[in-house]
Structure 1
Amino acid sequence: MLSTHRQVAVKQTTLDDNNPRRYSTHMRFLSPFSAACFVALLILIFSARQAAAQTTSTAQANPDKQASPDIQTTATADSVKAAPANQQPHDSQTVVVLGSSVPIPLTESTSSVVVLPVQSQILSLESVQDLLRQDSSLYIEDRGSGGGQADIILRGGTYEQVLVLLNGFRINDAQSSHHNLDIPLPMDAIDSIEVLHGAGSTLHGADALSGVVDFITAAPQSTSVRLRAGGGSFGENEEGFLGDLLQKSWSSRLTAERNFSTGFIADRDYRNEDASSESWFNSRLGLSDILLATSDRSFGALNFYGIAPQWERTKGWFASGRQELGERTEAAFGYRRHTDEYVWERYDPSVYENNHIDESWQASLRNKQPIASNSVLLIGLDADGDSIQSTNLGNYARNRGAGYADFNLRPANARWNLSAGVREELFSGGLRSVTSPHLAGSLRLPHQLKLRGNAGYGFRLPTYTDLYYHAPGEYGNPNLKPESVWSFEGGADWDLSNKWSLSATGFYSRQHDTIDIAEATKTPNALPSWCPLNVYCAVNVNGVHFSGVEASATWTPSSGQRVELAWTQLFGSQAPLLNTISEVALNYPDTNIHLNWIASIRNTVTITNSVAVVRPYQQSSTPWNDNPYPVWNLDVARESGRIRPYVRLTNLSNTGYEELTNIAMPGRAVVAGISIKIGD
């Protein structure tokens, strides 16, 4: 790809790979603060052991009194989603992993976590972007339909400040964060998407500043085959295949998917192909999980990175293995390779072309130690590295390692719980590190009311594009510092009855050394002296902070209907940038409202009616989408039975809008098709 912003069409410029101006992490040496955090954890553990002793004494004195059962059914995320059918726990509660050291029921989470199920609405979704839009705190900056390139904005953070995971493995692209949603999986392979709002670097590492998005794969429920085909507006064509095999001690799922379109306007065509294979085995050691996935996406990129008929093609390969080592220990390893071919002038590639190949690997070892009857200490080690070979960026590599501990204190028969953790991450290129602590807790009150709050720290290293990109229209910056954020939130969840539930969260985040792409329009200005006028430069800025409110209400008038209203309001602030335009740090929606009505007819046909109203933040120097814009979608699908027809109607309001400047979004469209299931 080129870069995010306007460019001059010239021959490419390659940085010298031996350039001594390597970036520095600008991190402090091993911090005494981390040692203090570990000491605090030890104190918590000692307190938990005392509580355990008291609980044991009470139980002996009152043998009829049992510990609270609501956590007893909790299982690991992999056992819930991956074990063969005869091994699967039967738990009606939604179990989440994000924001906690161990999988817990969603109702017990101390963080703001949203779970978006995929399989129950698979025929109503064209891509994962459609599902992510159901979370009003997420803003998807899409560059067209079909599941092509898109960015995630969460709670006002930049598109580079969201960590994307696949079954807990990192997917974030080292070349450019524009590829973070390049998930090499068909929709049929995904069970659900979990979204953590707020910083999450303690458990998940770098890039988790404004939140974490984790794609969880689905396991077979029976031996069967499912075929899908459809078509519609703008030459849309889609096909899908799913094959499940379920045996006593192992199971496997094979999926493949293709969709393509001639485009709603010239140079907005696309072709996406994805395939995956995942297998699970039970042995004396425990559960083994092996995933292989690949993707190939090519698309017309009209005005994506400047005013020109551009073209881009990306390919992805992903492999991972996870092995339980008994009941308490787990080892995992993942590998990702991603290529990006970018052409500025589609019909004359000789004008400007970039080719990038980046690779990354990751390994982890985790151990869970029960401390008391519902309290757990998680200790983990992570190691990962990435590298790039690029005609523009040069050839680079870097590695890092981390150790972390997280203690989840849940006293038996208590209405409160507390979670505290700390992570120390080391970087190659010198003994430098960063410490990421977090603290969270919740309190259950009478009348089904839960109060929760947490505080955490997140950080991100610059991508290779941030550091080394160079063209007449944009300069990278090898001296960029990593960016970081302190995040705080408090909220309440209230189940008024079996028909009504309410949730509200207030949050605040303060960033430091925010990585921005900015342009100086005249002198004097806020940019360094090395950055020329009217050129986009990668710089660190300070004074960026956000506050906001997330609120939602769910009404279930009957067993077959559900109405959901969600609203997120953001209030951002940054010190004025003299004669300077921010292109990344101030690109977010200040208002995002979603209204969904889901109706099920005889538990067979599902109708989903959704309306979203969005108002992007407007810089006075770059106004666009001046007014809030509505988008109305309607989906009808038969989600059960052997023959399952579906219809998707998108942008029924035929709203003309842009989620990114100068990139028009499709108007009204319809896609219809059929899915056929063979087998149990």
Structure 2
Amino acid sequence: MKKMLLWLATTSSTLIFAAQFLQLMRNKQNNNGYKQNALIFKVWARKGYSVFATIKRVVVISVLAVAYLFLATLKTGASEKDTSEVKMQYDIDEIEVSASRAPAVYSEIARVLTIIEADEIERAPVESIQELLGYVAATDIRSRGAGGVQADVSIRGGSFDQTIILLNGINITDPQTGHHNLNIPVSLSQIKRIEVLEGPAARVYGPSAFSGAVNIITCQPEANTLRLQLSGGSFNYFNSNLSGSLQTGKMNHMLAANRKSSSGYIDNTDFGISNLFYSGKAYTSKGNISVQLGISEKEFGANSFYSPKYPNQFEETGTFFSAARWKSNSRFHFTPAVYWRRHTDKFMLFRNNPPDWYSNHNYHLTNIGGANVNSWIRWAAGKTAAGAEFRYEGIRSNVLGEEMENTVKVPGEEAFYTHSKNRSTVSLFIDHFYTTNAFSVSAGLMANHISDQNSGWNFFPGIDAGYQLNEATKLVVSFNTSLRMPTFTDLYYSGPTNIGNPDLKPEKSATLESGVKLNKGFARGHFIVFFRKGENMIDWVKQSSDELWQSQNLTQINSRGAEAALNFRLNEKLGKNLPEMFNLSYFYNNQEKDITGYISNYVLDNLKHKFTASVTQRITGNLSVNLRTVFQDREGAFTEFDNGTETGEVSYPPFWLFDGKVMYQSNNLKLTLSASNIFNRSYFDLGNIVQPGRWIKAGVEYQLNFN
């Protein structure tokens, strides 16, 4: 009943929002008043004009024909991609990205940064962020359930706790466990782009950016729109999304409600996910302020998620997120932000019919909150940025943390929080970026102090450099360092065979990488080799077979790898009948562990080989198809179970997966048909968790655009 009430509330809120702005449109029409419109360039398609993106100026062009097109009260054909439509294309090189403390466009970054744009998200045969990230060669997505229920995200062979997740630049990484990092209140339709930065990124994003970072950036439409999306498919899958955007004066609003559910592809894999998300942006003469609010609730059958001995597991999670940021327009750019994320987790080892020895479920409540400020200035020697961040992390639990003097009742449950723990982190940043026609360099430092550590201040430097050999080829090299604070699970998880270690120190990493980046108009790509040294790696170890496993900072892991990627727009060079997009990428990683005197329980189960390929082909003016394949070869093994009984260690077998999506778009209407795991491949990618077979979905979308 609680879930249904939440969904009714979110849906009704969105419908009320839609009704209000439809009435506003009618009022505008009746007033016969027209607002002067202008076309504003925020990015420029030619490389020589990258300065427009970085100096934060706008170019305003007043054209009578453009004004005429924007004066219609209702546009009936705004979304169709037609060759007869007058459009302005922008180059990805001119997109301002967040992989630097000082603003920089994509072409200036001397790191491997993968950008997944909205049009690629629209074409991909996926309906969750987890599935989408799985097509990035250097990312390892290990799903525990379908539809975005839960997945572990790692980059370049790191663990799921070593990747930082950001929403619009705000660190939402969960301190309890990385399993919850992607519990965010947005669906794919609200995402403008995703940026995946590979390698340590402490001086850019702060602590926990150990092996990489994923920044999810949502849309903030400047037009008045109303959009309804419905899709359904195998295993009683149903996904509904209702969203709208509205401009009132100098402020833009976006509100979206989403509900997704399925009866499950095997027993106890059913799920229900509800999201409500609002974002707003107000513009003033001195700058702009943006706010975001979101609520997400999930309930799902967790078949063998954490132990194959007990396939009848069940879990419920809830997330509340809020943030606000100011961005000034002055010469001395000043950007403060505040944020808060609250997350609840209820885990049941037995969904029903528990045995007599099972006494209680696990309950966790985590709060993270903080404030940060970033500032930068342009001067004769380049751009200099400096910043600071304060971050609080706290947990209440009946399992994790230190024992509380006074217990606290779990809201809505016959249970009590009996343990708690909190910590705070202060980080200081400085970074400088300098560029000439052929050479660019960015160097900086993060200083970090953690409240419950006795190590004082820690320093993490980094430098990136690039040299433009010619118009198409750029040499890049970088050295960066970072840390990863232990999660509360690392510190306090205890069981019949395990004992936590509250004295764990942060993990540290240093990565050296170099290579070449290619940009030849219709073709772009890169080839990179890297070496990462990880110290104080957290491992579960013991000195003899009759001892308990204990978490310790005793392991060093070295990673050596390479990555190659090529993206072609063949129709731009060789004719319109060829594929619009053809992508190939390959990732290789070899990890070595150094630990002496201890028995280790840490399993090196990183991806050693990963290959991805995709092609987008337009069949007619309105009909297109996107086909994708992924090959994975994983190191390590898992303990196989048969009816709750161990049958021995089994290596992860390599496998291929094929997905596809057909999309028809005409004016405001869009129809889709997609299939994942087309050949119904049976495979294991995380322990004994059975992955979904062939899954077919069909969808419809209708959008109204108002002015």
Q: TM-score, normalised by structure 2?
A: 0.80
Alpha-carbon contact 1:76-1:102 (below 8 Å) kept: no
Letter in 1 for 2:589: L
Give the C-alpha shift of residue 460 in structure 1.
1.1
For the pair 1:336 / 2:362, whether they are aligned, the reply is no
- Distance in 1, matches of 2:493 and 2:373, equals 35
- For residues 376 and 597 of structure 2, the distance between their equivalents in structure 1, rounded to whole angstroms, comes to 52
Out of 508, 515, 520, the residue aligned to residue 538 of structure 2 is 515
Aligned equivalent of 2:588, options 552, 555, 569? 569
Sort the Cα spacing of 1:582 and 1:607 in 2 relative to 1 into closer, same or farther, 3 A: farther
Q: Aligned to 1:574, what secondary structure does the other structure show?
A: strand
- The residue type equivalent to 1:514 in the other structure is M
Question: In the alignment, what sits opposite 2:524?
Answer: 501
Q: Check conservation: 1:280, 1:288, Cα contact below 8 A.
A: yes
**Superposed displacement of residue 643, structure 1:** 1.3
- Distance change >3 Å, CA 204–CA 144, structure 1 → 2: same
Is this contact kept in 2: 1:517–1:583, CA < 8 A?
Answer: yes
Query: 2:643 maps to what in 1?
Result: none
1:490 and 2:498 correspond: no
Alignment partners' CA distance in 1, 2:324 and 2:336: 8
Structure 2 unaligned runs (5+)? 1-46, 60-65, 68-87, 401-418, 573-578, 640-647
Q: Which residue of the partner structure matches residue 72 of structure 1?
A: 51
2:567 equivalent in structure 1: 554
- Residue 29 of structure 1 corresponds to which residue in structure 2? none
Question: Counterpart of 1:645?
Answer: 671
Deviation at 1:581, TM superposition (A): 5.0
Taking the aligned partners of 2:683 and 2:252, their CA distance within structure 1 comes to 45
Match of residue 122 from structure 1 = 122
Distance 1:458 1:528 in 2: 30
Q: Specify which of 545, 556, 560 is matched with residue 543 of structure 1.
A: 556
Match of 1:46 in 2: none
TM-aligned CA deviation for residue 169 of structure 1: 0.7
The equivalent residue for 1:383 is 390
Match of 2:632 in 1: 614
**Take 2:540 and 2:191, find their aligned partners in 1: how far apart are those partners?**
34
Shift of 1:578: 7.1
Please state how far the C-alpha of 1:96 moved relative to its aligned partner: 4.4
Say whether the 8 Å CA contact 2:683–2:691 is kept in structure 1: yes
Equivalent-residue separation in structure 2 for 1:594 and 1:90 (angstroms): 27
CA distance in 2, matches of 1:440, 1:159: 25
Question: Is the counterpart of residue 592 in structure 1 residue 610 in structure 2?
Answer: yes
Structure 1 distance, partners of 2:546, 2:57, is 52
- The count of corresponding residues between Structure 1 and Structure 2 is 592
Considering Cα pairs closer than 8 Å and 6+ residues apart, tell me whether 1 or 2 has the greater RCO: 1
Gaps of 5+ in 1: 1-67, 519-526
Q: CA deviation at 1:397?
A: 0.9
In the alignment, what sits opposite 1:159?
Answer: 160
Aligned to 1:316: 319
SS of the residue aligned with 1:184? Answer: coil
Question: 1:70 Cα shift?
Answer: 4.0
- CA displacement at 1:163 relative to structure 2: 0.6
2:612 counterpart of 1:582:
no
Q: CA RMSD in A?
A: 2.5
Partner of 1:17: none
What is the Cα deviation at residue 343 of structure 1?
0.3
Match of 2:33 in 1: none
Say yes or no: does 1:445 pair with 2:469: yes
Cα distance between partner residues in 1 of 2:694 and 2:58:
42
1:13-32 map, 5 Å:
none
The correspondence of residues 81-120 of structure 1 with structure 2, limited to 5 A, is 92-93=91-92, 94-118=94-118, 120=120
For residues 551 and 365 of structure 1, the distance between their equivalents in structure 2, rounded to whole angstroms, comes to 36
**Native 8 Å contact 2:388 2:427 kept in 1:** yes
Counterpart mapping for 1:212-231 below 5 A: 212-231=213-232
User: Contact 1:595/1:610 (CA < 8 Å) preserved in 2?
Assistant: yes
Q: Distance in 1 between matches of 2:502 and 2:543?
A: 13
Rounded to whole Å, the distance in 2 between the matches of 1:653 and 1:135 is 21
Asked if structure 1 preserves the Cα contact closer than 8 Å seen for 2:543 and 2:597, the reply is no
Deviation at 1:158, TM superposition (A): 0.9
What TM-score results when the alignment is normalised by the length of structure 1?
Answer: 0.83
- Alpha-carbon displacement from aligned partner over 1:341-370 (angstroms, at most 9, x marks no partner): 000011046544100000011111111111
* Aligned residue number for residue 287 of structure 2: 286
Q: How much does 1:122 deviate? A: 3.1
Structure-2 separation of matches of 1:573 and 1:128: 31
Cα pair distance change 1:78/1:514, threshold 3 Å: farther
Task: Work out the CA distance in 2 between the residues paired with 1:494 and 1:331.
Answer: 36
Aligned to 1:325: 328
Range with greater deviation from structure 2 (438-447 or 115-124):
115-124
Q: What is the rounded CA distance, in whole Å, between the counterparts of 1:536 and 1:270 in structure 2?
A: 34
Following TM superposition, by how much is the alpha carbon of 1:203 offset from its aligned partner in structure 2, in angstroms? 1.9
| 1:301 Cα deviation after fit | 0.6
Structure 1 residue 246, shift from structure 2 partner: 2.5
Kept in 2, the 8 Å contact 1:98–1:195? The answer is no
Provide the residue aligned with 2:251 in structure 1. Answer: 250
Give SS of 1:379's match.
strand
User: Closer, same or farther in 2 for the Cα pair 1:421/1:135, shift >3 Å?
Assistant: same
What is the deviation of 1:588? 0.9
SS in 2 for 1:178: helix
CA contact (8 A) 1:344 1:351 kept: no
Counterpart Cα distance in 2 of 1:532 and 1:325: 61
Are 2:129 and 2:187, in contact at CA under 8 Å, matched by a contact in 1? Answer: no
Indicate if the aligned counterparts of 1:473 and 1:536 stay in contact, CA closer than 8 A. Answer: yes
Counterpart CA distance in 2 for 1:639 and 1:507 is: 42
Partner of 2:693: 667
CA shift in 2, pair 1:109/1:464, >3 Å = same
Instruction: Supply the distance in 2 between the matched residues of 1:450 and 1:136 (Cα, whole angstroms).
Output: 21
CA deviation vs aligned residue, 1:447-467 (integer Å, no higher than 9, x gap) = 511001110111011111111
* Residue 270 to residue 77, structure 1, CA distance change in 2 (3 Å): farther
**Distance change (3 Å), C-alpha of 1:498 and 1:428:** closer
Instruction: Report the alpha carbon displacement of residue 119 of structure 1 after superposing the two structures with TM.
Output: 5.0
Q: Secondary structure at the match of 1:345?
A: coil
Deviating more after overlay: 278-287 vs 568-577:
568-577
2:423 corresponds in structure 1 to 398
Q: Tell me the SS of whatever aligns to 2:227.
A: strand
